[in-house]
């Protein structure tokens, strides 16, 4: 079991855990992000096909952990995927 503190709440990742996160662009277009934890790795699928000004693709990657970053580029607090099999992909999960 892994525990993460996100936005003041604990997120407990257990094998078989699935999280569905929806974020919105400045124009209001949804970006869908699904995370699945198999007990060892976090499987990430980010779908930007509904983003009018984005690249409109589905990006899949596998990561070992989620890290907290203070004073990040997008917000004061960010949670990013880390130790992933793709280095050039957007690794942000949650920001506030």
pLDDT number for residue 17: 75
Closest CA to 92 of 31, 51, 14: 31
Predicted confidence (pLDDT) per residue in 26-78, tens digit: 899 999 999 998 888 999 999 989 999 888 899 999 999 888 888 767 678 88
According to DSSP, the β-strands at 58-70 and 77-84 are: antiparallel
- Sequence spans of domains, the chain: 2-95
pTM of full prediction above 0.85: no
* Cα→Cα distances 70→7, 58, 89, Å: 12, 28, 20
């Amino acid at each position: 079991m892994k525990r993460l503190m996100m936005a003041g709440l604990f997120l407990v990742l257990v094998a078989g855990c699935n999280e569905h996160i929806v974020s919105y662009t400045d124009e209001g277009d949804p970006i869908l992000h699904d995370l699945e934890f198999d007990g060892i790795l976090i499987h990430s699928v980010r779908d930007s096909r509904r983003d009018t000004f984005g690249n409109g693709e589905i990006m899949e990657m596998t990561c070992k952990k989620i890290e907290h970053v203070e004073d990040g580029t997008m917000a004061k607090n960010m949670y990013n995927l880390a130790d992933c099999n793709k280095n050039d992909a957007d690794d942000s999960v949650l920001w506030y």
